[in-house]
């Protein structure tokens, strides 16, 4: 993990493939431990086949922030080349918790399933709740649990792609950990960073978290069906966003009702999807 944002050096990253229930644990020293579970629900028994590994975790403190970001940027460049070589549109979805990005993602998958294959790398500190929601759409998904880590990095995405194995000419959606600070610093190799905020959060988010909106190519204002019930000024929010990043592509949508989603889908269509 990194010292740039206070992530714990001894955090354990877990990558789970919900399709196979296989787990890979990546320790802070780089050790990779893989195992799978088998379940017998009728007999209420549970067996686990795993190597009996007892590892003492030694965190390494890196005091030079540039070294961390330089290593990440190198891996991100490799990811970007991998995506381009396979004609894959990679989207890094970033937001604070509760913005509705999982709902937006599942709605997008369902609405576009006849047009393009969408695969998902799902990032959370804990649980596979969102990955299970995405799996229910029929979409391939890999869950990355970062433990105490507050963002995904390029190496996690690289390992997630090995599990996911997305097809050529498709979309990979990377749903980052809910956080509007640290994910702005870490390039994952994505084609575009998509910042999502909801009308329940406050219209000043772009100027309160300028680094995220400056690093993004797209801003989606979600939950516009709730505008009659909250104090949120869309015009003011957009004005703030333009102050931070004049080049932002902005969509106003409701992932629940579907309002505004056609414009979002048209933007995806500009990439050939």
Cα 79 to Cα 229: distance, rounded to the nearest angstrom: 42
pLDDT of 272: 84
Q: Domains in the chain, ordered, with CATH?
A: 66-269 (3.40.50.300)
What digits encode the pLDDT tens for the residues 102-116? 999 999 999 999 999
Find out whether 99 and 202 touch, Cβ atoms under 8 Å. no
Report the pLDDT value the prediction gives residue 273, as an integer from 0 to 100. 77
- CB-based contacts of 212: which residues, under 8 Å, 6+ apart? 94, 180, 181, 183, 184, 195
Tens of pLDDT, residue by residue over 126-168, are 999 999 999 999 999 999 999 988 999 999 999 999 999 999 9
List per-residue pLDDT tens for the chain, 273 residues long: 455 565 654 556 788 888 777 766 554 445 444 555 443 444 444 333 333 323 333 344 444 467 778 899 999 999 999 999 999 999 999 999 999 999 999 999 999 999 999 999 999 999 999 999 999 999 999 999 999 889 999 999 999 999 999 999 999 999 999 999 999 999 999 999 999 999 999 999 999 999 999 999 999 999 999 999 999 999 999 999 999 999 999 999 999 999 999 999 999 999 987
In angstroms, rounded to a whole number, what is the distance separating the alpha carbons of residues 215 and 92? 11
Record the tokens describing residue 231, joined without a space.
């104090």
What pLDDT, on a 0 to 100 scale, did the predictor assign at position 67?
76
C-alpha–C-alpha distance, residues 93 and 228, integer Å = 26
Q: Please name the residue ranges forming H helices in the chain.
A: 65-85, 101-112, 129-135, 154-164, 205-208, 210-215, 234-244, 261-269
Q: Which residue has the tokens 């995220």?
A: 212
3-state DSSP assignment of residue 155: helix
* 8 A C-beta contact, residue 117 and residue 166: yes
Convert the pLDDT of each residue in 79-99 to its tens digit.
999 999 999 999 999 999 999
Structural contact between residues 7 and 1, judged by C-beta atoms closer than 8 angstroms:
yes
């Amino acid at each position: 993990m990194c010292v740039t944002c206070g992530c714990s050096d001894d955090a354990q990253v877990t990558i789970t493939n919900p399709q196979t229930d296989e787990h890979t644990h990546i320790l802070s020293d780089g050790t990779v431990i893989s195992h799978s579970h088998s379940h017998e629900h009728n007999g209420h028994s549970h067996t686990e086949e795993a190597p009996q590994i007892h590892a003492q975790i030694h965190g390494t403190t890196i005091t030079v922030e540039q070294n961390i970001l330089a290593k990440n940027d190198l891996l991100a460049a490799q990811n970007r080349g991998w995506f381009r070589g396979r004609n894959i549109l990679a989207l890094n979805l970033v937001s604070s918790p509760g913005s509705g990005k999982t709902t937006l993602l599942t709605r997008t998958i369902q609405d576009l399933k006849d047009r393009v294959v969408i695969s998902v790398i799902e990032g959370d500190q804990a649980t596979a709740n969102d990955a299970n929601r995405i799996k229910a759409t029929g979409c391939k998904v890999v869950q990355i649990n970062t433990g105490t880590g507050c963002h995904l990095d390029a190496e996690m995405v690289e390992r997630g792609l090995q599990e996911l194995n997305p097809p050529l000419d498709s979309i990979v959606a990377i749903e980052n950990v809910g956080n509007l600070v640290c994910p702005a610093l870490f390039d994952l190799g994505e084609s575009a960073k998509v910042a999502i905020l909801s009308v329940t959060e406050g219209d000043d988010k772009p100027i309160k978290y300028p680094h995220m909106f400056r690093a993004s190519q797209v801003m989606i204002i979600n939950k516009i069906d709730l505008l009659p019930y909250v104090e949120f000024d869309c015009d003011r929010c957009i004005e703030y966003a333009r102050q931070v990043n004049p080049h932002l592509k902005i969509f106003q949508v409701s992932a629940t009702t579907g309002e505004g989603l056609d414009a979002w889908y048209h933007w995806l269509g500009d990439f050939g999807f």
